[in-house]
């Protein structure tokens, strides 16, 4: 009997606690100004006051239309401040209207897991712009005006153009000199990290664990370091483009991998806590901070993979393109970071497959004329897959040549025509690039 009474009192206490928390949550919406003319702007201020332990979500707007007749121009980020034991979160919404009339804006709904909170309705009057035709002055149509040639202004513009062209040419020369110096340094010393993915990740986690920046109030930096380390590990270990993926996309991708099945729950804990810190500005507990670093260690330690020797040897076979394949142990990992088209996690095996099907490495040419000088320049490298058109990357260089190249005398028109032709096909440099990578790989092995 006593246990039943205690259960009843406990249940009542929980209900009273939830009710008290609900009473402590306040929402409000204000409109400033509430009267405007067509095309002017008005501001809606949303405010939420809640205990630090509560979790209430702001309204979500799925389109640029608030209600028919009222458009949303901008929605600010959430601004959070502390007020005693509570936190106050506010957001600004800028609206406009191009139709006159009186509008009733429905209540905004804030939601928690157990209850919904609504603001008061808002009212907006939009007035037309009235023209005073009674006092308008009507003037006769004036005759045609024939302006003379302003030679001073023309000379001024030409002088400014010449100065800008000269500065641009000097800047281009300095840039080319700097770029060639960097390329020469890279050719002289190619540093390749031979550590396995788990070795790199564990060393980085050791540094994060030792620093404990969250104890100094840098919680966001702490979770950013952990998730970035895991993302880089997933790129190298599971060959997925984790650096460009959201947290949910990473988890969904790895759920299909048997090697990662045992650590999915650990990933969810780390990424969910990290997202709350980054986007909801919540402060995790001491236990959550310690658990996150421990789960990061578990993820790596339980997915360690040490490849056998044959997996790092040269890939056998001969593709149709260039008579060679990209070597799995070659410096392609360093080179491909600067090639557009293979920045999204393409592996060496996938590149080889594309080369077999007709893929190729290309670059474009573009023409720039400065006063009496014309330059024909090469673009950066691109990896063109079999199902892609070169104009996908070449259009920008086509526009540069058409705008800045053709008017240089005498070489501007000739170079521009050449650049336009290459913009549609790209210049195939596959043979030269693979040969260079092979030489670099041989030099690296010889140095080792």
Percent of the chain with pLDDT over 90: 15
Burial category of 243 from C-beta neighbours within 10 Å (exposed 0-12, middle 13-18, buried 19 and up):
middle
Over the stretch 422-444, which tens digit does the pLDDT of each residue have? 888 888 888 887 777 665 544 44
85: which 2 tokens?
A: 């034991």
End-to-end CA distance of the chain: 80
Phi, psi of 97 (to 5 degrees): -150, 145
Instruction: Tell me, yes or no, if the pTM score tops 0.75.
Output: no
Question: How many Å separate Cα 355 from the centre of its chain?
Answer: 29
C-beta separation of 415 from 367 below 8 A: yes
Over the stretch 63-108, which tens digit does the pLDDT of each residue have? 888 899 899 989 988 888 887 778 888 999 999 998 888 999 999 9
Phi, psi of 339 (to 5 degrees): -110, 120
How many other CB atoms are there within 10 angstroms of residue 62's CB atom? 5
206: which 2 tokens?
A: 């050791």
**CA neighbours closer than 13 Å in the CB half-sphere of residue 431:** 5
Using alpha carbons only, what angle is made at residue 382 by residues 378 and 387, rounded to the nearest 5 degrees?
Answer: 135
**Between the CA of residue 347 and those of 215, 224, 250, 364, what are the distances in Å?**
39, 26, 17, 24
58: which 2 tokens?
A: 């702001």
Burial category of 444 from C-beta neighbours within 10 Å (exposed 0-12, middle 13-18, buried 19 and up):
middle
Over the stretch 367-384, which tens digit does the pLDDT of each residue have? 888 766 788 888 888 888
**Cα distance between residue 353 and residue 317, in whole Å:** 11
SS (H, E, C) 24-66: HCEEEEEEECCEEECCCEEEEEEEEEEECCCCCECCCCCCCEE
How many other CB atoms are there within 10 angstroms of residue 371's CB atom? 13
DSSP string, 84-104: TTEEEEEEEEEEE-SS-EEEE
C-beta separation of 331 from 192 below 8 A: yes
Under 8 Å CB-to-CB from 266, ≥6 apart: which residues?
295, 296, 298, 299
**Cα distance between residue 169 and residue 23, in whole Å:** 68
64: which 2 tokens?
A: 């640029």
Using alpha carbons only, what angle is made at residue 184 by residues 181 and 188, rounded to the nearest 5 degrees?
Answer: 140
Over the stretch 204-220, which tens digit does the pLDDT of each residue have? 999 988 888 878 888 88
| Rg of the chain taking only CA atoms, in angstroms | 32
DSSP H or E stretch at residue 278 = helix 264-279
pLDDT of res. 232: 92
Over the stretch 247-306, which tens digit does the pLDDT of each residue have? 888 888 888 888 888 899 999 999 998 888 888 788 888 888 889 899 999 999 999 988
State the pLDDT confidence band at 327, using cuts at 50, 70 and 90: very low
**Cα distance between residue 85 and residue 54, in whole Å:** 11
**Cα distance between residue 361 and residue 341, in whole Å:** 9
pLDDT of res. 61: 85
Instruction: Give the pLDDT mean for 2-17.
Output: 53
């Amino acid at each position: 009997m006593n246990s039943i009474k205690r259960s009843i009192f406990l249940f009542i206490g929980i209900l009273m606690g939830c009710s008290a928390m609900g009473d402590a949550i306040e929402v409000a919406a204000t409109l400033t100004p509430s009267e405007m003319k067509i095309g002017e702007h008005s501001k809606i201020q949303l405010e939420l006051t809640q205990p630090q332990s509560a979790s209430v979500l702001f309204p979500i707007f799925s389109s640029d239309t608030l209600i028919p007749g009222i458009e949303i121009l901008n929605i600010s980020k959430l601004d959070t401040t502390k007020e005693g034991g509570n936190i106050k979160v506010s957001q600004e919404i800028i609206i406009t209207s191009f139709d006159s009339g009186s509008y009733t804006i429905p209540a905004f709904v804030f939601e928690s897991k157990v209850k919904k909170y609504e603001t008061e309705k808002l009212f907006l009057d939009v007035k037309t712009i009235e023209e005073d035709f009674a006092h308008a002055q009507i003037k006769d149509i004036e005759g045609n005006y024939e302006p003379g040639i302003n030679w001073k202004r023309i000379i001024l513009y030409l002088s400014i153009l010449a100065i800008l062209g000269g500065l641009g040419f000097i800047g281009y020369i300095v840039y080319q000199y700097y770029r060639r110096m960097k390329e020469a340094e890279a050719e002289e010393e190619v540093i390749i990290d031979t550590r396995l993915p788990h070795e790199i990740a564990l060393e980085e986690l050791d540094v994060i664990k030792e620093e404990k920046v969250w104890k100094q109030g840098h919680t966001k930096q702490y979770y950013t370091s952990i998730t970035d380390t895991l993302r880089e590990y997933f790129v190298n270990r599971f060959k997925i483009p984790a650096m460009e993926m959201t947290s949910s996309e990473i988890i969904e991708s790895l759920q299909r991998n048997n090697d990662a099945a045992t650590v999915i729950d650990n990933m969810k804990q780390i990424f969910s806590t990290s997202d709350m810190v980054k986007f909801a500005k919540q402060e995790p507990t001491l236990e959550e901070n310690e658990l996150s670093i421990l789960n990061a260690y578990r993820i790596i330690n339980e997915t360690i993979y040490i490849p056998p020797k044959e997996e790092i040897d040269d890939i056998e076979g001969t593709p149709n393109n260039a008579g060679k394949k990209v070597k799995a142990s070659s410096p392609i990992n360093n080179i491909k970071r600067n090639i557009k088209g293979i920045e999204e996690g393409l592996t060496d095996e996938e590149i080889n497959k594309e080369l077999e099907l007709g893929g190729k490495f290309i670059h474009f040419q573009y023409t720039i004329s400065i006063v009496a000088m014309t330059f024909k320049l090469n673009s950066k490298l691109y990896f063109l897959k079999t199902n892609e058109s070169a104009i996908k990357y070449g259009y920008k260089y086509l526009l540069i040549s058409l705008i800045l190249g053709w008017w240089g005398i005498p070489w501007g028109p000739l170079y521009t025509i050449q650049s336009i032709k290459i913009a549609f096909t790209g210049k195939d440099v596959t043979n030269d690039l693979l040969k260079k990578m092979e030489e670099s790989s041989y030099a690296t092995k010889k140095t080792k």
